[in-house]
Amino acid sequence: MQKPNDTTRREFLTTAAAIGAPLLVSPRTAFGSQASSRVTLGVLGCGGRGTWIAELFQKHGGYEIRAAADYFQDRVDNLGAKLQVPPERRHTGLDGYKKVLAGDVDAVAIESPPYFHPIQAREAVEAGKHVYLAKPVAVDVPGCRTVEESGRKAAEKQKAFLVDFQTRTDPLYREAVKRAQYGDIGRIVCGEATYFCGPTFDEQIKWVTEKPNDPEVRLRAWGLDRALSGDVITEQNIHALDVASWVLDAAPLRAVGTGGRRARSVGTCWDQWAVIFTFPKDVVVSFASKQLGQGWDDICCRIYGTEGTLDTHYFGEVSIRGKLPYRGGKMTALYQDGAVANIAAFHDSIARGDFSNPTVAPSVRSNLTTILGRTAALRGAPATWDEMIAANETLTADLSGLRS
């Protein structure tokens, strides 16, 4: 494993502007020799979200879904049938994605389990593809660094690289966060980020319960596997922590935490987490999550200042209360609207030749924030950002018994 460079380690992705020199080039260059506004797309990962988002790509009108890959034949066939991808352009196995990258697509949408994101994104950029990447970008620190590097290389190679977070596209979220950053809630003192939901992977739990030792089932049930998913705090709860690091425009300095697997008996992920993060200027953010039970679902980030409170809910209201209130409004369908907006932004950046790729740095930063929380909670003792970056710890998934 590569040792982090000492001179850059402390600065590693602590500010969102770390990446992204403005690079605007000719649209003709952006589209290669085709000089066409239609972006040909390969989909890597044809599970639930992969299929769902591929349909949104097709509905946009500016994309042609030309190839697809998934480990499982049934998954790639399901997407292929829905979106008219011919059988010879459907690829399977762990290395199926390489065949998509070797083909003639302009871009790829990476919707595979998070464990595979960094390598697939890196190879896609190396193959000269534009990259649309689902969150989380990676499950460990080396993966985050790979994605950061791939984002930078994409910019150099005049390729778009967009990380798909929904909240960051929403006008109400943007306005509320801006106002907090501009001073409307006064000096920021503390905050909370919470992600409370019921069981998310019921079907996967069923498969694993039926066949606990089947390697293909382990892959299909990736949401229960810490290495494949990054665990719940990284894979799912990142939405809440991303808003916190967005508002504060900073990475946490340290964290303490706890948690456990309280309500399920299979897999290696925890289903309940609690972490206290300390950000610069002694801003404390308390984080909690659950992926179990019934009766309460909320993705919230609330930031308290000396003169007001920023209150954001992924499925509810976004507002500021206090001396300078902002009424904001209610989220209606952020899960879909955000993806639609990102699909449009991705196309737009390719069409305009804008390869500044501004989503990469903040996404890597919030991804690392979740990993810091995970590290502290699993350890049951404080963890610091610097120490986490220096340790550069790898999560290794068990891929034995799977075909390439």
Q: Which residues bind other proteins (CB under 8 A)?
A: 15, 17, 19-22, 24-27, 37, 174, 178-179, 181-183, 186-187, 249, 324, 351-354, 356, 358
Check: CB of residue 256 under 8 Å from CB of residue 287: no
User: Cβ atoms within 10 A of the Cβ of 387, count?
Assistant: 12
Q: Which residue in 75, 1, 396 sits closest to 228, CA to CA?
A: 396
Kindly tell me which of 103 and 353 has the beta carbon lying closer to other proteins.
353
Kindly tell me which of 323 and 330 has the beta carbon lying closer to other proteins.
323
Q: Whole-number minimum distance, CB 37 to other proteins, in Å?
A: 5
Kindly tell me which of 110 and 180 has the beta carbon lying closer to other proteins.
180
Kindly tell me which of 288 and 303 has the beta carbon lying closer to other proteins.
303
Name the one residue in this structure whose structure tokens are 């590569």.
2
Q: Whole-number minimum distance, CB 21 to other proteins, in Å?
A: 6
Report how far residue 131's alpha carbon sits from residue 154's, in angstroms, rounded to the nearest whole number.
8
Kindly tell me which of 225 and 354 has the beta carbon lying closer to other proteins.
354
Q: Whole-number minimum distance, CB 8 to other proteins, in Å?
A: 17
Q: Which residue in 264, 312, 255, 317 sits closest to 291, CA to CA?
A: 264
Which DSSP state fits 221? T
Kindly tell me which of 108 and 160 has the beta carbon lying closer to other proteins.
160
Instruction: Quote the Cα angle for 266-396-401, to 5°.
Output: 70
Q: Whole-number minimum distance, CB 6 to other proteins, in Å?
A: 24
Q: Whole-number minimum distance, CB 323 to other proteins, in Å?
A: 9
Q: Whole-number minimum distance, CB 242 to other proteins, in Å?
A: 15
Report how far residue 180's alpha carbon sits from residue 309's, in angstroms, rounded to the nearest whole number.
8
Report how far residue 139's alpha carbon sits from residue 137's, in angstroms, rounded to the nearest whole number.
7
Report how far residue 213's alpha carbon sits from residue 201's, in angstroms, rounded to the nearest whole number.
18
216: its two tokens: 């293909």
Burial-class residue 181 by CB neighbours within 10 Å (0-12, 13-18, 19+): middle
Instruction: Quote the Cα angle for 50-54-59, to 5°.
Output: 155
Q: Whole-number minimum distance, CB 157 to other proteins, in Å?
A: 16
Kindly tell me which of 112 and 319 has the beta carbon lying closer to other proteins.
319
